[in-house]
Structure 1
Amino acid sequence: MNKRTWLIKLRKRKKMTQQEVASKAFIERSYYAQIENGIRKPSSEVTVKLGEVLDFHASSFNLEENPFSIALKNAPVVLAHCDTQLRYTWIFNTPDLIPDEHIGKTDVELNDNEGNRSLMRLKQEVLDKNSPINRVISISLTTGTVSYQVYAHPLLNEEGTIIGVATASTEINTYTPTDEINKHL
């Protein structure tokens, strides 16, 4: 198993040591270090505790080994979780950046463009209304502009409190990159 760099980034964003996380989750530091290094998979109880300490949804651990991830790896689908500040806590299958570059950042911190601002507005609306929403959003990538059908819904913890937003974005239309358009003018 690979090192869980997304988990390390979340811990560092909170400016916590492994010992601090382990203490707040009521586990041994060595066990937590093994979890971060991908040596051990935490129990569902520990996963929930770590999610509470580091502000992520417990399903992030289940998604990393999900058999659907193999089927989705080359599909035009992006799955993600963000916290209530709209900072990514987990992402899968992002087309433009290394997934770990997303962790702890908002969409506009990654790339400030109208598509990413629209995506953030959608997520904020989900948080404000505590209701699922879907919308078509076009996002500028290095390869051109891509339209996604974005399905966003509140991400809840075990007590039913909103802790973020989960999104599933399916590519529905890829526009010709700007350079290609200019060639034809």
Structure 2
Amino acid sequence: MCALEPSWVIAGIRYVLDAEVSDAAQVPVYSDQSWLDDARYARMGAGDCPDAPLIAVDVASAFDPTLVAVPGHQVANIQVFCSPDPASAMGAETTARAEVVLAELWPDLGGYVIRTERFGLRQISRMTRDAFVPGAGGEAVGLAQVGRSKPDARTPLPGLYLVGCDAGGRGAGTHQAIDSKFNVAASVDGDLAAR
């Protein structure tokens, strides 16, 4: 168990809006200082967060308008990467910094907000059970792999593949899972063609 590396987790704010504010389904927000690698992430953990953290904004109803309860409304999920450690202040810090950046980029956004819903490690842990790996959130969070520690999509058992966020993909969250799906499908096709 000690060799497992907890993955980064996402914290953020869900903005419930009374109008269709964005026609973009996904908006990445970043600066020259906000991109992440292991060294930068470690500095963030030590309290050295960039003023503009790496932010992902997704508006699912831009893909499918039926995903909101009231026609013409939107829900914007504002997401930042943070530590899986429940004792870490990184999620609150990066979320607060993201709010400042959003207010600068979209100064009128606040006028459309009906309510906000904060989410972070504690909510994710509740949804994915108790901590299993020390210093991590719920089991699904704690067992996820990142970087070079991620398992290969091909297993030692011929014909058995791993697919999803933890194997064969790059990126984060849904993007990583979808990338994994395409990569694993190509591996399966290649293996079948080689027979």
Which category describes the TM-score, using the shorter chain as reference length? Answer: under 0.3
- Structure number, greater radius of gyration: 2
Structure showing the higher strand proportion among its residues: 1
Q: TM-score, normalised by structure 1?
A: 0.25
Structure 1 or 2: more helix by fraction = 1
TM-score, structure 2 as length reference: 0.24
- Larger RCO: Structure 1 or Structure 2 (Cα < 8 Å, ≥ 6 residues apart)? 2
